[in-house]
Amino acid sequence: MDVLLQTEASEMGGFEMLDEPPEIEVEPKRPWIRPRVFLQAVLCVGTLGTLLGLGIAYAHVPAAKPEVETTTVPGMVALAASTWMDLGKGGGGKVNGTFYSAKECILEALSLNETSAEPWYLLAAFGGGLVNGTMFSQKECLVRSLLLNATSPDAWNDLGSLGGGEVKGRFYTVKECLQKALSLWHERDREGNAVTWTNIGLAGGGNVNGKLYSRKESFQEALSMDSTCALAWFFLGHFGGGQVNGHVFSQKDCYLRSLHNVNETQKNYCPLDNTRKGCAAILGGGTVYGEFYSSKSKECILEALSLNETSAEPWNLLGRLGGGLVNGTMFSEKECYIRALLLNETNPDAWNNFGSLGGGKVRGRFFTELECLEKALALSHKRDKSNVITWTNVGLAGGGNVNGKSYSEQECYLEALSLDNTFSVAWYLLGQSGGGQVNGRIFPQKDCYLRSLDLDETQKKHSSLDSKKKAVAWTNVGMLGGGMVNGTSYSAKECYEEALSVHFNNVEAWFQLGREGGGRPLKGRLFSEKDCYIRALSLDETSPTLRKEEKALAWTKLGILGAGSVKGKAYSEKDCYLAALSLHATQLAWFHLGLLGGGELNRRVFSEKECYQKSVSLDEHFADAWAQLATVDGGDVHGRSYSTEECLAKAKFLRENPIIGIYSGPGSSKSPEKGTVRVQLNDAMSVATTTAAWKW
The whole-angstrom separation of Cα 393 and Cα 688 is 6
**pLDDT score of 238:** 83
Closest CA to 681 of 670, 666, 696: 696
584-623 as b/e: b if 16+ CB within 10 A: bbbbbbbbbbbbeebbebeeeebebbbbbbbbbbbbbbbb
> Under a CB-based contact definition with an 8 Å cutoff, are residues 213 and 200 in contact?
yes
For the segment 353-373, the average pLDDT, to the nearest whole number, is 90
**What percentage of the chain exceeds 90 in pLDDT?**
37
Other CB atoms within a 10 A radius of the CB of residue 466 amount to 18
Is residue 149 helix, strand or coil?
coil
Instruction: Tell me how many degrees the CA angle 367-373-375 measures, rounded to the nearest 5.
Output: 75
Lowest-pLDDT range of 120-124, 453-457, 609-613 = 453-457
Confidence of residue 62 (pLDDT cuts 50, 70, 90): very low
pLDDT digits over 664-674, tens only?
Answer: 343 333 333 32
Residue ranges with strand state E in 391-464: 400-402, 405-407, 435-438, 441-444
The C-alpha angle 411, 413, 414, rounded to 5 degrees, equals 60
Q: Which residue has the higher pLDDT, 275 or 116?
A: 116
**3-state class (DSSP) for residue 41:** coil
Contact (CB, 8 A) for 30 and 111: no
* pLDDT of 675 higher than 90: no
Is pLDDT above 70 for 176?
yes
Q: Tell me what pLDDT residue 518 has.
A: 93
pTM: 0.53
CA distances from 540 to 3, 126, 518, 546, 567 (A): 57, 67, 18, 6, 10
Burial of 346 from C-beta contacts in 10 A (0-12 / 13-18 / 19+): exposed
Query: What is the average pLDDT score of the chain?
Result: 78
Name the CA dihedral angle for 326, 332, 338, 341, rounded to a multiple of 10 degrees: 60
Q: Identify the residue with better confidence: 42 or 323.
A: 323
Residue 273, helix vs strand vs coil: coil
- Would the pLDDT of 486 be above 90? no
pLDDT at 191: 54
pLDDT, tens only, 39-50: 543 333 333 232
Residue in 686, 692, 693 with CA at minimum distance from that of residue 392: 686
Q: Alpha-carbon distance 415 to 423, whole Å?
A: 11
Q: Is 528 helix (H, G, I), strand (E, B) or coil?
A: strand
Residue predicted with more confidence, 282 or 570:
570
From 87-91, 242-246, 427-431, 686-690, the region with the lowest mean pLDDT: 686-690
For residue 688, the model assigns a pLDDT of: 39
How far apart CA 564 and CA 531 sit, in angstroms, is 9
d(CA 162, CA 178): 11
